[in-house]
Amino acid sequence: MIGHIDHFVLTVRSVEASCAFDGRVLGFRRVDAPGRPSALAFGHQKINLHEVGRTFEPKAAAPTPGSGDFCLIAAVPIETVRDRLLAEGVPIELGPVEREGAQGPMTSLYFRDPDGNLVEVGSYRR
C-alpha cells in the first residue's frame, strides 16, 4: 500500500543552523517557499523543518528538538561520508558498523546534528 517516504518533519531550535549544517555536511539543498516550512531536499525526498515556537499545523503532538532518529542512504561510499564528517569536525558516534537495513545488509555510521538528533548514514553492499 505504501511505496516510499516523501518527507518527514524535524523540530529544530534554529532553521538557520540546521540548514547550514545539513547543507555543508550532507550536501542537502535548502528550499524556502512563502507560507511553508523551510525544507532540506536530497534525491527525491525532503525533510521539512519546524522551528520551536514557529511550527506549522498540523504537527506532531509533542514536537521536540533532538527527538529524531533516522537513517539516510548514501549515494557515495561510506568511507566518503566518514571522510566528509571528519573534515567538517563532526564527531562520529559509532561506525562504520554492519547493520540490517530495509533492503538487506549495509554498512552504517552514526552522528548527531546540531539539535542532537541521531543520524545514521548507511551504504548497501554492492
Amino acid at 106: M
Residue that has been written with the C-alpha cell 551504504 in this structure:
123
> Could you say which of 16, 79, 88, 120 is catalytic?
120
What is the CA angle 99-105-110, rounded to 5? 30
Instruction: Determine the 3-state secondary structure of 21 from DSSP.
Output: helix
Active site residue 16: no
Residues known to be catalytic:
120
